[in-house]
Structure 1
Amino acid sequence: MTPTHEDVAAAAAAWVWVPDNARRIRGEGWQPLRFPDWFEHPLELVSLDPDRDVAALVDDALVAARAEAVPGVVEQVVCWARLGAADAVADALLARGGVLDETLDVMALDLAGPPPDLGQPPSAEVELRWTVDVATARDSFAVGAEVFGGSTPSLPEVEAYVARAGDDLAAGAGGAVVAYLGDRPVASAGLTVVDGVARLWGGAVVASERGRGLYRTLLAERLVYALAHDARMALVKGRVETSGPILRRVGFVPHGQERSYAVPLTAPPGPSGAAGAPGARA
């Protein structure tokens, strides 16, 4: 059955990634996270409860984020305006000094329908490897850091990831795949299969190798895996400038956007700039 907009919205809302080594900051109605320092954005506000007053929730979350910030090191928190509540959340973040950081197209593909036209298959010089060993996993993290920013995790963190990756891949839960030209890693992408939905994430191609079909090659590999493990829908949150246009061309249907805002932590929360407190209203 073709996914409805409501199906896609529900799947998008359920998709909030929390890595094992992130620390949840306790709160009511919001979920700030403290990521490891090698992430591009160590502090993120990943979700809000749409049933509570948005302005008050944002103020609560910013108070908690300011308490977690390392002076001189972490000076902003990245806050997400998710599908379905994007306008109200965006207004509250902009009123508190937020600046648009990233815009993602939320797109879906019915995996029960005709297969997408992904163009020519990859040339023989492209090799794909799943991240089930330390060397390949480190290459995947390195490509991601080059494209998205941040740095790479420590060797013990990579080893801990690899210890789970093989079992997850075999069990149909997903994983990450790296594209190589010779011995050089040039692209990486991942997926996670949850409740029949293949969540496609982390599609990255190094700048020098864009335009040769590597993103589509990794997309095809992930869709083959998703179909082999009974996924009914592929869901992606693609950057509007890069992956979004490719995904539209191969048949993914847009269902709206999610946007992130970088909100400074150097001033107390609240649109007036006055000292804020948990639960303060805008």
Structure 2
Amino acid sequence: MDVDVVRRAAAAIVWEPDFAEVVRTDAFTLVKYPMWLQQHCQAHRLTSRSPADDVIDAALAQARSWSRDTVWFCGLSSATPNPSLEPRLLERGGHVAETLSVLALDLSEGVPDVPVPDDVSTEPVTTPDLVKAWDAVSDEAFENETPNDEDPDVRARACQEEYDQGRGGVFVTVLDGRPAASGGMTFYPDDRLVLLWGGSSTKAARGRGAYRANLLARLRRAHELGYAHAVVKGRVTTSAPILTRVGFVDLGRERVVALASQPSSSPST
């Protein structure tokens, strides 16, 4: 596995679903998600070497135009081209909202032997009931509130289409007759890379293999379609330890810094 190639590919990936609004500049990619997502306005691809305050001010101004009160600046690490960006965010009142491990797995020789209990079942989301199960798991895990006005039939058809066309998909794992884990995946053919996202389990299912079962189903799907690498950004306190135990390689850590978007005079350093 060429670690540098995988790391660069992972850094460039941004979740841009059809329902999101996206602004791309030379300094960042800003994504406006629905308010029911906890991190509803995210800044990615922070590759500019322009003065940190200029980058921050531009992102906050766009967020305010969207009526978003916070921007989550994602992917900050020792490799960020502008080393003053993260310190400046913190000086201006930001806080580290998340620390993530960037993890990669070589799928060229197959899927790792992941132990999974016999009493769990996992399948792709293709029906309204499975959409509701996905929402139940992810809402609990990520403290979101998926709105009830989204038609589960429409979402189920979209998931089915994405899965059938080999563009990605979502899997739900059931334990004791109840939704226990869920996770999504998006394929990037040019890089032969699959991004795993949204992997989570309910509190009642933790430690019982539901997360591992869901992970294994997604890895098998990616391998069947000929993808060479799987990449995931896992929380250092929850999913990252599980992922490293099954063979993922830790490529380094990233931080997400949240900063309120209200107008303010930038304090001098």
What's the TM-score, normalizing by structure 2? 0.90
Equivalent of residue 179 in structure 1, options 173, 176, 200: 173
> In the alignment, which residue of structure 2 is the partner of 1:278?
none
Aligned counterparts of 1:88 and 1:57: Cα–Cα separation in 2 = 11
Aligned counterparts of 1:162 and 1:229: Cα–Cα separation in 2 = 22
Is 1:75 the equivalent of 2:75?
Answer: no
> In the alignment, which residue of structure 1 is the partner of 2:31?
33
> In the alignment, which residue of structure 1 is the partner of 2:238?
242
Aligned counterparts of 1:161 and 1:132: Cα–Cα separation in 2 = 9
Structure 2: stretches of 5+ with no match in the other structure: none
Paired residues for 1:218-257 under 5 Å: 218-257=214-253
> In the alignment, which residue of structure 1 is the partner of 2:117?
122
Cα distance change on mapping 1:108 and 1:150 into 2, 3 Å: same
Cα distance change on mapping 1:61 and 1:170 into 2, 3 Å: same
Aligned counterparts of 2:17 and 2:110: Cα–Cα separation in 1 = 34
Conserved in 1, the CA contact under 8 Å of 2:122 and 2:213?
no
Give the AA of the match of 1:32.
L
Paired residues for 1:205-220 under 5 Å: 205-220=201-216
Aligned counterparts of 1:109 and 1:103: Cα–Cα separation in 2 = 20
> In the alignment, which residue of structure 1 is the partner of 2:62?
64
Aligned counterparts of 1:50 and 1:161: Cα–Cα separation in 2 = 36
Conserved in 2, the CA contact under 8 Å of 1:13 and 1:82?
no
Aligned counterparts of 2:250 and 2:24: Cα–Cα separation in 1 = 33
> In the alignment, which residue of structure 1 is the partner of 2:97?
101
Instruction: Return 199-208 or 159-168, whichever deviates more.
Output: 159-168
Give the AA of the match of 2:57.
D
1:105 to partner: Cα distance: 0.5
Give the AA of the match of 1:65.
A
Cα distance change on mapping 1:109 and 1:167 into 2, 3 Å: same
1:130-162 deviation per Cα after TM superposition (whole angstroms, max 9, x unaligned): 111111012102211110112113443544332
Aligned counterparts of 1:181 and 1:220: Cα–Cα separation in 2 = 15
1:51 to partner: Cα distance: 4.5
1:28 to partner: Cα distance: 4.6
Cα distance change on mapping 1:134 and 1:249 into 2, 3 Å: same
Equivalent of residue 255 in structure 2, options 232, 246, 259: 259
1:263 to partner: Cα distance: 0.6
1:270 to partner: Cα distance: 2.4
1:114 to partner: Cα distance: 5.7
Conserved in 2, the CA contact under 8 Å of 1:81 and 1:89?
no
1:198 to partner: Cα distance: 1.3
1:52-83 deviation per Cα after TM superposition (whole angstroms, max 9, x unaligned): 443321121112223322xxxx5322111345
What's the TM-score, normalizing by structure 1? 0.86
Give the AA of the match of 2:19.
N
Conserved in 2, the CA contact under 8 Å of 1:139 and 1:178?
yes
Cα distance change on mapping 1:44 and 1:114 into 2, 3 Å: closer
